[in-house]
Amino acid sequence: MTGESDQSKMYELALLSTQAKRYSDTISLYQSYLASNPNSDISPCNRLLLYNAFNHRIINECFHSYSKLTSLHGNNLSISLLKFVETIENEIDSLCLTIVKIIDNYFLASPLNKDQDIIETLRRRGDYLYYQSSIARPGGKCIMLQAALRSYTEGNYLR
Q: How many whole angstroms separate alpha carbon 18 and alpha carbon 8?
A: 15
83: domain range? 3-157
**Interval 98-107: pLDDT, tens:** 999 999 888 8
Q: Which pLDDT does position 116 carry in this prediction?
A: 81
Amino acid 132: pLDDT: 87
Tell me the CATH number at 35: 1.20.190.20
Amino acid at 110: S
Question: Average pLDDT, stretch 3-31?
Answer: 85
Over 90: is that where the pLDDT of 150 sits?
no
HSE, side-chain direction, 13 A CA sphere, residue 56: 17
Once rounded to an integer, what is the mean pLDDT over residues 11-20? Answer: 88
Instruction: Note whether 96 and 103 are within 8 A (CB).
Output: no
Residues 57-90: pLDDT tens digits?
999 999 888 888 888 766 677 888 888 888 999 9
Where does the pLDDT of residue 3 fall: very low under 50, low under 70, confident under 90, or very high at 90 and above? low
> Would you say residue 155 has pLDDT above 80?
no
SS3 readout for the chain = CCHHHHHHHHHHHHHHHHHCCCHHHHHHHHHHHHHHCCCCCCCHHHHHHHHHHHHHHHHHHHHHHHHHHHHHHCCCCCHHHHHHHHHHHHHHHHHHHHHHHHHHHHHCCCCCCCHHHHHHHHHHHHHHHHHHHHCCCHHHHHHHHHHHHHHHHHHHHCC
Q: Using CA atoms, how far apart are residues 154 and 159, in angstroms rounded to an integer?
A: 9
pLDDT (0 to 100) of residue 44: 81
Number of domains in the chain: 1
> What confidence tier does 27 reach under pLDDT thresholds 50, 70, 90?
very high
CA distance 53 to 45: 13
pLDDT score recorded for residue 10 = 78
**How far is 148 from 145, CA to CA, in rounded Å?**
5
- pLDDT digits 0-9 by tens, 105-115: 888 887 777 87
